[in-house]
Amino acid sequence: MTARIIDGKALAAELRNRVAAEVIRIKRDHELTPGLAVVLVGNDPASELYVRSKHRQTQDAGMASFEHRLPADVAQDDLLALIAQLNRDPAVHGILVQLPLPKALNTEVVINAIDPAKDVDGLHPHNAGRLAAGFAALSPCTPLGCIILSKTVHASLEGMNALVIGRSNLVGRPLLQLLLNENATVTIAHSRSRDLPNLCRQADLVYAAVGKPEMVRGDWIKPGATVIDVGINRIPADGGKTRLVGDVAFKEAAEVAGAITPVPGGVGPMTVVCLLVNTLRAACAIAGLPRPAV
């Protein structure tokens, strides 16, 4: 195995410490405690796990954490009333509604109800539009984490050929915009792209966010390329158990790539910490303070 393994867990811990130091500074200098409100509808096990992790890490960073748990059959008007209340609450600087929502709820309407200044998931059309136009905006956490991880390998992404596999609003599309902001040359691919292996072989940076276990094979990777694997897939393992794999065939790709993220322990830990970064940035912006040094 020749690739450098990008340790997302260690890098996330380092970034979390920097966030915590900034939280201490703005508490001391401005008597401001950043606050994050997380809304969980229903009891999806994966969502519950994420929410617990977010709550713990928010508190560890010295921020205020507000959890709101609603039943799966909550009326949409009741959920919108809670969001309106959080929009008005001066102690709340970030609002995250955990996705996916139960099918009876309209996700677009719910996201549009969040105050864009508190939209730490970066999904409100206001923030998505600003990001697409190249203006400062709250960006979705996973793409932000991908850029930070990439820049631990390359001081600058300028002029590099980047391939994003996947075009979701949560990862693929915002990642495209963030890479353009870094002056990379970006191709976005998806299930209808022709000759995906050949597109991969031309890329200096490969971001796999397609949700298909080990789809990207080792012989697709350009020698020395950096591979950021966003996928988290459960596949059967021995003894009736399951194991987590990414969208990239890790062992194969690691023999060719220059650097690669593992699954788990790569992009996942960075996503949660980038939520803290966005909450800190939102708190400073709402209070009219300079952008924090993270």
Catalytic residue among 54, 204, 222, 229: 54
Cα-Cα-Cα-Cα dihedral sign, residues 197, 218, 163, 200:
negative
Catalytic residue among 98, 177, 222, 229: 98
**3-state SS class at 160:** coil
Catalytic residue among 115, 119, 121, 247: 121
Alpha-carbon distance of 108 to 113, in angstroms, equals 9
Alpha-carbon distance of 199 to 52, in angstroms, equals 39
Query: Which among 41, 102, 101, 38 is positioned nearest to 71, based on CA atoms?
Result: 41
Whether 121 sits among the annotated catalytic residues: the reply is yes
Which residue pairs, CB below 8 angstroms and at least 24 apart, start in 194-199? 196/165, 196/220, 199/163
Alpha-carbon distance of 33 to 123, in angstroms, equals 24
Which is it for strands 226-229 and 205-208: parallel, antiparallel or unpaired? parallel
Whether 59 sits among the annotated catalytic residues: the reply is no
Which is it for strands 242-245 and 233-236: parallel, antiparallel or unpaired? antiparallel
Alpha-carbon distance of 266 to 279, in angstroms, equals 22
**3-state SS class at 44:** coil
Extended strands (E) in 6-90: 35-41, 64-70
Question: Which residues, listed in sequence order, are joined to residue 235 by a DSSP beta bridge?
Answer: 243
Find where tokens 């990862």 sit.
Answer: 171
Q: Which residue numbers are catalytic?
A: 54, 98, 121
